[in-house]
Each structure stands twice: as structure tokens, then as C-alpha cells.
Structure 1
Amino acid sequence: MSGDLQQDWRGDVEAAARRIRERAPHFLRETPLWKLPGRALGVDTPGVEVWLKLEHLQVSGSFKARGMMNRLLANEIPASGAIVASGGNAGIATAAAAQALGVPCEVFLPEMSPEAKRARLRSLGARVVVGGAAYADALAACLQRQRKTGALLTHAYDQPEVVAGAGTLGREIEQQGGLPYAVLVSVGGGGLIGGLAAWFERRSRVVALEPERAPTLARAREAGEPVDVEVGGIAADSLGAKRIGAIAWELTQRHVGDALLLSDDAIRAAQSWMWKELKLGVEAAAALPLAALQTGAYAPREGEKVCLIVCGANVDPGMLG
């Protein structure tokens, strides 16, 4: 499911934004861009301004709504509807888009998916199938089912329409605040960082962040190509892809220099800090950008404007303590 680097990715992002605006005008939200002095988040470097892109407030609770709706609108949807394998967020987004368009949706989840995400899917009218230890197992079952039903497959991260839809987040940031110096973003399969890299190119510094226990991009860079990795840890339900997507691999090779790894302890601490200090209830995957700042893994320069992508909020509130 690779993309062509020669294609006009920024044009594809513009087309996605236009398609969604014209055909599903009330589906997406323009999420807030909250600007804070760096010291408010524990950054000591003088003059740093931190932009929190609060995409966890998006329809379906994550950025995934952008790509999933674009995928559905860009294709003819059969009577069997849409089908997707997901750690949770892509499934919720596909179900929300399908519900908005009045078409059926079937979602395959791994056993590690939290009950909160399963309940949300059912509330959106999706048929939920749970099985397999990891996302890759759910995807295999999903593909087998899709061959039988002919439903439109919505991939969690590795389809051009999904990546272009995710890129509308970058477009929105630029419209709201201009170009930040750096954009810090979590990586799982790579749909989000692929979309942001496609939009910003190298006009802003896009920084890839991964948990140490789910290093799909880091291991791919070590090997020189996408490879399977063992995944686990605190953010595995959202960042649990075993291999970086082909499109994200190509786009990050071209536009992303930094790929940083963060410990589960650092991610957990940042997630807890966001809840206690900012009252932002977000999932672990959304805390990696702040963890990178607070641990010094990413050290902004004096006067830098750095944007943190707060990507999702599909979390059990009891886990935020």
C-alpha cells in the first residue's frame, strides 16, 4: 500500500480538506491550538512557546476521523459497508464516519484493545470482532473477512487517502498559527506522521516519537527498510503496529530527520501530568510529545515555537489518576 513520492501530496491534502468540507461539512471539528509559554510545561529554555494541538477533541476522540472520512468519501462504498482492523482509534473513526454516511461498519480488534474502545464502537453501531494478541492478528482476520464480503477496506494508516486526510491536521495548524519551528508527533503505523510530513515537508521540523517498546520507525531505520518488530507497553493499543507503513516510511525518509524513543515511565508521567496540571484526559499515545519535552529528549532552542500533537483521548478515565 505504498505511495508515490512524486505525487502531489500537498495537493492531495488540499483535496481531502475540500472533499470533507463539501460532502461531510458537519463531521470534523476545527480543534483548538492552545499556545502556552514553555515554562508552563516545565521547559526552562527562554522564550520557548509550546502549541498544544488538541486533536483529542476531534470527532471520535482522535485525529483518525480525518483520514477515515476521506477514505470513505473518495471511494464507492458497497452495500456491505466499510471494514477495518484497528487497535481502537481507527476503528472508532471509521465507525463514526460510516454512521455519519449511513453505511454499515465492521471492526476487528486485538485482545489488547481496552473495553472503553470496544464500548465506544458498539455505541456507534459497529459490529465488533475481537481476536488475536496484536493488531497484526486482527488485520489478518479483517482481510480474510473482507475477501468474503467485498466491504471497503479502510486501513488504519497505510492508504493514500488515509494519509492525506491525516495531513489536513497539519494544514489546520498552519492556518491557525502559521508554521511552528518543530512538530512533535507520536508514531505507530505512521499515518499521522506521514500526513504531517506530506504537508509540512521540511518547512517545519517534524520529529517522530515512539515508545521504546514499539519502535517501528527506529528499527526500520536501523535495517534500512520496514521490518516487523515486537510491540508492547503502555501505548500498544494505539501505537501497536508491528511494522511502519510503506507510505509513512517513504515520506519520513524524505521529510523527517529525528526519530526519538521514550520509556513507558516517561510517557506515563507525561500523561498523568497532563491530567493533573492541564486537565487534559488523553491516552498514552498523546503524551509522547510532552514526554519528549519534559525528559529533554527533544530540547527546543531559545525562542522556538514547538507544536505538540495531542492525538487522542480514547482512554479509560480510571487510568488517569
Structure 2
Amino acid sequence: MSSTRTITRERISAVEPRIRPYVRHTPVMRVDMADFGRPAFPVDLKLECLQHSGSFKARGAFTNLLTRPVPKAGVVAASGGNHGAAVAYAAMKLGHKATIFVPEVSPPAKLARIRGYGADLVVGGARYAEALAASEDFAARTGALQIHAFNQEETLLGQGTLGLEIEADLPEIDTLLVAVGGGGLIGGIAAWFAGRIRIVAIEPEGAPTLYRALEAGEPVDAPAEGIAADSLAPKRVGEMMFPIAEAFVERSILVSDDDIVAAQKALWDRVRIIAEPGGAAAFAAVLSGRYEPAEGERVAVLVCGSNTNPANF
């Protein structure tokens, strides 16, 4: 059955009360782009970077742990960092053992979070795909419950609760810009809105996973490089999210590493928001002019992760 029929508003609405005690309702900040050296127009920033564990991933992690039976062996996840931190945090809160596999590209700030939540951390392999293979082997050997970062029904439903929250906070928006890696975030959000607003994907030039998939008409391998490689650079988008993206994501826009760093600096300098590269990617599209809103268009930008050291930018 297509994910457009299984990842639905009704199921997202049913999940939201289950995870509500464990996740933050994150704030919205309205900014004027004139303060950032751009033509004057308002943009609403949804600050999911202030979520528990430092990113939106906590929503999907708690949805998995609260709706699936967890064996004695606990849970296992592969991650560039944020999903691993979220699973480790959720497991800590709910009293489960967690084992997290991350690639060597994962930054120290994310590794520190995972360790700080008490998970067993295994670092190995150059990229996410290698960490995923190692985690799958671990699950087969131990019986641990595997929690996929994006290609998992419960993960998509959990991330979809962010769409529900954005609509409650910003009922009048026309357009929402969302960063894409494996696509669990934009898949869940797009399933919630189901075409009622414009959803635009933002990706790094070095990791155009959804961009390539939309061109090809199916998920295909893409480069996995660039400054946001730890969070926005799997080899390809998830099979589950792709039909949702085809149906409800208007297009994908690519931004450069320089655009992303400029967005990180601007968010810190102007509004004192710390955003990691993946977290700043959507704002980079507006700041760089790669996304130009129409006259009167009401635009919101999702700032989705903060697991970085500000000294890096």
C-alpha cells in the first residue's frame, strides 16, 4: 500500500497525544529579512532546533518506542548523529537500552550528546550507509529493535506531528521550506498538509537526494558530500517518503555550502539562534535568494537542528 495512504493526517493526529508528554512544543520567531540584508519581507522561523536532543528527530524516536514493542535487547539505530541522539534520549527517558552506530563523519557535538544519554556508541565507516549496515547486522545478531532514521512508518508519523504543530502555530502560511536528507521530516510534514500549503524542499548541492529522485521518478543514489553530510547526506531518500514527496512537495532547491555557513552566521549574529548546517539549510535558501517569495506570500522556514559548536561558524 502506498505511503500516501498509510501516513495520513488521521494517524499523525492519533500519534501526537502519545508523544506530547515527551516532546517540546517549540516556539516560532518572526523575522524581517531586511535585518539580514535582504529586501524587506517577514519570515516565520519554526525553532525545532530547541527540541529535546537538539533536533526534530525526538518526535520519530518517541513514536517508535511508544508504539512498538521493545525487546530486552533494547533498540538500535544508525545515524549521522541527530537520530542517534534522539533515540538515545528517548530510550533513556523510557528505560530502554540503546546502541547507536554512527559514521566517522559525525561531529563531536553529536557524539557527546549520544554518550551523554547513556547509549552504547559505535563509530565506524565513512558514511551513513556503512553505519546502517553495521546496525542491521547488530539487530540480526541480538534481536534489538531497529529504528530507522527516515524509512520507517512510525518515524514518518512522528515527524508528521511537527506539521500538525506548525499548522496550529501558523495557520495562515502559504509556503514552508524544509531541509531534506533521507526525507523523513519532509515526508511526515507533507503528509500532514497534503497539498494544502506549498512545501519546498531545500538540499545541499553536495547531497541532492530528493532533487535527483524527483528527476528520476524514483529514489536513486546521489552524492553524499558537503558541510551538512552528517545530517543531510544519505545515499538516497527513503522509499516510504518518495510517493508523498511526489504528491505534495512542489520542488527541491539546492543551496551551496557557502550559503549554509552564511545562514548559520546570520541566525547567530542577528537572532542568537544556533543552527547546525542541516538545521540552517532551509533558511539559507531565503537568505541567498535561491527562494524568492511572491508579493504577499507568507513564508515559514523550519530550523530543524542545533547540534553544533558555534565556534565552527
TM-score range, shorter chain: over 0.9
Q: Alignment partner for residue 197 of structure 1, among 184, 190, 193? A: 190
2:17 maps to what in 1? 18
Please say if 1:169 is aligned against 2:138: no
In structure 1, distance between residues paired with 2:273 and 2:289: 21
TM-score relative to the length of structure 1:
0.94
2:254 maps to what in 1? 261
Q: Alignment partner for residue 236 of structure 1, among 229, 232, 236? A: 229
Letter in 1 for 2:174: Y
Q: Quote the sequence identity (%).
A: 48
Please say if 1:44 is aligned against 2:39: yes
1:201 to 1:41, Cα distance in 2 relative to 1, 3 A: farther
Long gaps (5+) in structure 2 = none
Deviation per residue, 1:143-165 (Å, 9 max, x gap) = 00100111111101111110111
In structure 2, distance between residues paired with 1:199 and 1:212: 27
1:42 to 1:202, Cα distance in 2 relative to 1, 3 A: farther
2:265 maps to what in 1? 272
- Could you tell me whether the CA contact under 8 Å between 2:36 and 2:266 is conserved in 1? no
Q: Matched residue of 1:228: which SS?
A: coil
Q: Size of the alignment, in residue pairs?
A: 313
Letter in 1 for 2:210: L
TM-score relative to the length of structure 2:
0.97
Please say if 1:126 is aligned against 2:119: yes
Q: Alignment partner for residue 111 of structure 1, among 101, 104, 113? A: 104
User: CA RMSD of the aligned region, Å?
Assistant: 1.3
- Could you tell me whether the CA contact under 8 Å between 2:7 and 2:156 is conserved in 1? no
Q: Matched residue of 2:157: which SS?
A: helix
In structure 1, distance between residues paired with 2:6 and 2:267: 38
Letter in 2 for 1:80: A
Q: Alignment partner for residue 80 of structure 1, among 70, 73, 83? A: 73
Please say if 1:30 is aligned against 2:25: yes
1:86 to 1:3, Cα distance in 2 relative to 1, 3 A: farther
In structure 1, distance between residues paired with 2:107 and 2:135: 19
- Could you tell me whether the CA contact under 8 Å between 2:3 and 2:241 is conserved in 1? no
Letter in 2 for 1:301: A
In structure 1, distance between residues paired with 2:53 and 2:176: 23
- Deviation (angstroms), 1:40: 3.1
In structure 2, distance between residues paired with 1:5 and 1:303: 31
Letter in 1 for 2:191: A
Deviation per residue, 1:221-266 (Å, 9 max, x gap) = 2222111122111000111211011122111000011111111111
Q: Alignment partner for residue 206 of structure 1, among 195, 199, 211? A: 199
In structure 2, distance between residues paired with 1:228 and 1:3: 21
Long gaps (5+) in structure 1 = none
Please say if 1:289 is aligned against 2:282: yes
In structure 2, distance between residues paired with 1:315 and 1:220: 29
In structure 2, distance between residues paired with 1:97 and 1:8: 22
Answer with 242-251 or 52-61: which moved more: 242-251
1:286 to 1:203, Cα distance in 2 relative to 1, 3 A: same
In structure 1, distance between residues paired with 2:217 and 2:283: 28
- Deviation (angstroms), 1:8: 5.6
